[in-house]
Amino acid sequence: MAKSKRSKHMRAMRKILREKLAKKDEVKRLASLKQDNLIPSTVPIPERTANDEEMQVGGSGTSEFNSRTLKNKDGQYPSWLSGRQRKHLQAKQAVQKRNEKQKKMKKNAGKVTKRKKTQTKNKAEAIYLSSTIFRQIFRRLTSAGGSGDTGIADKVQQLITGHKVIVFSKTTCPYCIKAKQILSKYKLKDYKVIELDEIDHGNEYQNVLGKLTNARSVPRVFIAGECIGGGDDTERLDQNGDLEKRLKKVNAIEK
């Protein structure tokens, strides 16, 4: 209830102040019109009253009070405002300043977070771009020289035709391990495993195999010069019995 009375009292004071400011503005307007000879000189102009003087501080005529904050440009309150009313206004304005400061801090924190996200994104893009460029350069270097590719293709062809069973594999590939484990169940003869990650130019070997079989993945399992596929294909053929039949057909199993 006390707060409601104070708010009502402050609204009444602001209303009085606005009326005083409006009255003073009207006096100034009439004086200006009279000076410019836009109205007859006989028109009376109200004189400044004692209450009007209270609207000024120091009598300078330049320190007018704001109708919202009840302060002049120098931050002073009118003399007719009581000490309790001044304290109430000061407390209210302090709360407003604190809220504005908190909003500014949140805004600055948001800008910092956004800047950090942008920097992280730019860094990730730079790393991706540099890695892409490195891969392109590496591929160009490893694929340079047509005669070298032809020689590797001949070697691959010789290996395929020179063995009844051959597997082009990689030591860390789980599908390669699965295919080799399946083939190890049979006592194979003329059986060879080429680990592409342990030989020179393994990447070129894999490129040639990709062109021959239309699949660059490993493993590449060949029986009598024919590719039967990868790890899953070898497992499927073993489960339905076709793998053993093919191995026996080319006489790749020891008796």
- State pTM to two decimals: 0.44
- Strand residues in the chain grouped as ranges (E): 165-169, 191-195, 220-223, 226-229
CATH annotation of 149-249: 3.40.30.10
Average pLDDT over residues 164-179: 94
Provide the CA 61 distance to its chain's centre, in angstroms: 56
Long-range contacts of the stretch 180-187 (C-beta < 8 A, 24+):
180/219, 182/234, 182/235, 182/238, 182/243, 183/221, 183/234, 185/238, 186/244, 186/247, 186/252, 186/253, 187/253, 187/254
pLDDT in tens, 181-211: 999 999 898 899 999 999 988 899 999 999 8
pLDDT of residue 38: 57
Least confident of 3-17, 78-92, 165-179, 204-218: 3-17
pLDDT of residue 144: 45
pLDDT of residue 23: 67
For residue 60, the one-letter residue type is S
**Residue 231 reports pLDDT greater than 90:** yes
Q: Which tokens sit at 11?
A: 């609204």
Domain range summary for the chain, segments of one domain joined by +: 2-95, 149-249
Q: Are 78 and 70 in contact (CB under 8 A)?
A: yes
The average confidence (pLDDT) of the chain is 76
Q: Are 54 and 25 in contact (CB under 8 A)?
A: no
Average pLDDT over residues 165-184: 94
Backbone angles phi, psi at 106, to 5 degrees: -65, -40
* DSSP secondary structure code for residue 106 in this structure: H
Number of alpha carbons in the 13 Å side-chain half-sphere of residue 105 = 6
pLDDT in tens, 46-98: 555 544 444 443 333 434 666 556 667 776 766 666 677 667 777 777 887 88
Q: Are 221 and 186 in contact (CB under 8 A)?
A: no
Residues 6+ apart with CB under 8 A from 230: 175, 179, 215, 217, 218, 219, 220, 221
- Reported confidence tier of residue 180, pLDDT bands at 50, 70, 90: very high
